[in-house]
Amino acid sequence: MYEHDTIAAIATPPGQGGIAVIRISGADAERIVRQLFLPRTSWEKLHSHHFYLGKVQDQPNGRPIDQAGLILMRPPHSYTGEHIAELHLHGGSFLTRRVLEAILNQGVRLAQPGEFTKRAFLNGRLDLIQAEAVLDLIHANNETGLHLAWEDLSGRLSQTCSAIRDRLITQTAYLEAFIDFPEDDIPEHSQQELSSAFSSIRSDIETLATTFSQGKVYRDGIRTPIIGKPNVGKSSLLNLLAGTERAIVTQVPGTTRDVLEETVIVNGIPLVVRDTAGIRLATDEIEKIGIERSLSSIEQAEIILALFDLSRPFDADDALICEKIKGKKFVLVGNKSDLPQKFDVTDLLGSLDTEAPQRGDVSSKSHKAVDTFPLLHIAALYGTGIDDLGDRIREIALGKKQSGGEGEGPYKGVMITKIRHKVALEKATESLKCAEQGLATGLPLDLIAVDLRASLDHIGTITGQVSTEEILDRVFQDFCIGK
């Protein structure tokens, strides 16, 4: 339940830095800060949304302990819609905690994670989509993800959902009015007109829901392990993608014993790349643990980079890799293309596809297998072939239609990035389908109106026009204290 008490928290990351900010929100925020802050200007001359220099005084002896800045933000034009006071201190860990303790000793409560943003929602400053976008802005790790977060914060997705909701309200209001006031001169719509209206709304909802697969990619990235037998160049590929010497590279097989993770951007797509231990039949206990973790990475993967050594013949360890990636989304990558080639792709295709061609087979079936499982040639040591790899990853991640072409991608339309939104849209679609089926089978209009009302509520949960404690807890559970 929403409490109207005054809360405070450190709003900057923990540790030492140039500046630390303590945020106070609530009816007593200004009164509390008066006990601790001595401005150079008299309190009566302090205006909202101005920065003032002064001293923070120790309590209870009144001894100055820091030179600081103060910003007062008075309602309704504050982030939370309440009185806000922000103290900008020098960023010492002990100093910041000392001042926060002095504030809490004045009867202020420590803020819960996300409580400032939650109060902004409860006070009508943000809707739920915009509140979630605040966290997305903080966590954005690529340009497209940042753009999508800003679009949500600026209200574009909210406007789209509100437009759909308005159309549902219109249809629901018509049905309920027609049912409740039959004596009034309300024009009767034909079954075809109603069905067409329902279908149009459902189509728009379904279209919006399908954008989740791309939106999630830009928001969260794609779990992408690099899988291969020992010494095929997995660590070299990770270093190439990361643009730095992130992993140790040696000629000794089995150097990588644990999973090493790095977030990289490849052709505009964020990848959470994992350098894994080489997969082979091993006897060393430590190496076995590393291989088990590699196999676990395959199970969790969204796209697998299956790496093979073009300078060595296809062997039993390569076949084991093929066996492990079957049924998954993968990119076949042949490394060391700068060396003399001993790798036969027909052996690789034979391990992946029981109908793969035999050596020397140039039939249409052979070309089909090669098209289905193209082997990209790279030299990770020199960076050659990396552009083709990026294009292939983008194609798999977004689909062929969205993988290229001018004017395509998230900038062309609204995109959802959260499973909560997708589930709500799917439930709204199902309710509309029920309404359409009821209309087609001649169900009473009041039952059809119930389905429309359910669809309306599902859309409302996205923006918070229909909200519960469970929804709010889910939205704010990942926020940090101070935001």
- Say if residue 1's pLDDT is above 50: no
- Lowest-confidence pick of 13-22, 77-86, 242-251, 285-294: 242-251
Half-sphere exposure of 187 (CA within 13 A, CB side): 4
Indicate whether 156 and 240 sit together in one domain: no
- Say if residue 370's pLDDT is above 50: no
Check: CB of residue 140 under 8 Å from CB of residue 146: yes
Nearest to 211 by CA among 410, 30, 359, 27: 410
Parallel/antiparallel/unpaired status of strands 84-91 and 17-25: antiparallel
Region 84-96: mean pLDDT is 95
- Determine the Cα–Cα distance for residues 209 and 388; give it in Å rounded to an integer: 30
Indicate whether 386 and 240 sit together in one domain: yes
> What percentage of residues in the chain have a pLDDT greater than 90?
49
Task: Domain count for the chain, please give it.
Answer: 3
Region 401-416: mean pLDDT is 55
Binned at pLDDT 50, 70 and 90, residue 366 comes out as: very low
**Tokens in use for 60?**
């209870």
Binned at pLDDT 50, 70 and 90, residue 54 comes out as: very high
- Say if residue 332's pLDDT is above 70: yes
* Domain-located, residue 309: yes
- Determine the Cα–Cα distance for residues 37 and 415; give it in Å rounded to an integer: 45
Indicate whether 371 and 443 sit together in one domain: no
Q: What is the pTM of this model?
A: 0.78
Indicate whether 290 and 318 sit together in one domain: yes
* Domain-located, residue 401: yes
Higher pLDDT, 337 or 352: 337
Indicate whether 106 and 137 sit together in one domain: no
Indicate whether 331 and 235 sit together in one domain: yes
What is the model's pLDDT at position 445?
83
Starting at the edge strand found earlier in the chain, the sheet holding 51-57 runs: 37-39, 51-57, 64-73, 84-91, 17-25, 7-10, 109-110
DSSP reduced 3-state for 12: coil
What is the model's pLDDT at position 252?
46
* Domain-located, residue 429: yes
What is the model's pLDDT at position 472?
81
In terms of residue numbers, what domain contains 199?
Answer: 131-211+417-476
What is the model's pLDDT at position 436?
92
Half-sphere exposure of 322 (CA within 13 A, CB side): 19
Check: CB of residue 369 under 8 Å from CB of residue 353: yes
What's the mean per-residue pLDDT of the chain?
84
- Determine the Cα–Cα distance for residues 459 and 421; give it in Å rounded to an integer: 9
Of the candidates 410, 435, 458, which is a domain's last residue? Answer: 410
DSSP reduced 3-state for 215: helix
**Tokens in use for 173?**
């209001």
Of the candidates 410, 440, 461, which is a domain's last residue? Answer: 410
The CATH number assigned to the domain holding 396 equals: 3.40.50.300
What is the model's pLDDT at position 373?
64
Indicate whether 402 and 472 sit together in one domain: no
Indicate whether 301 and 397 sit together in one domain: yes
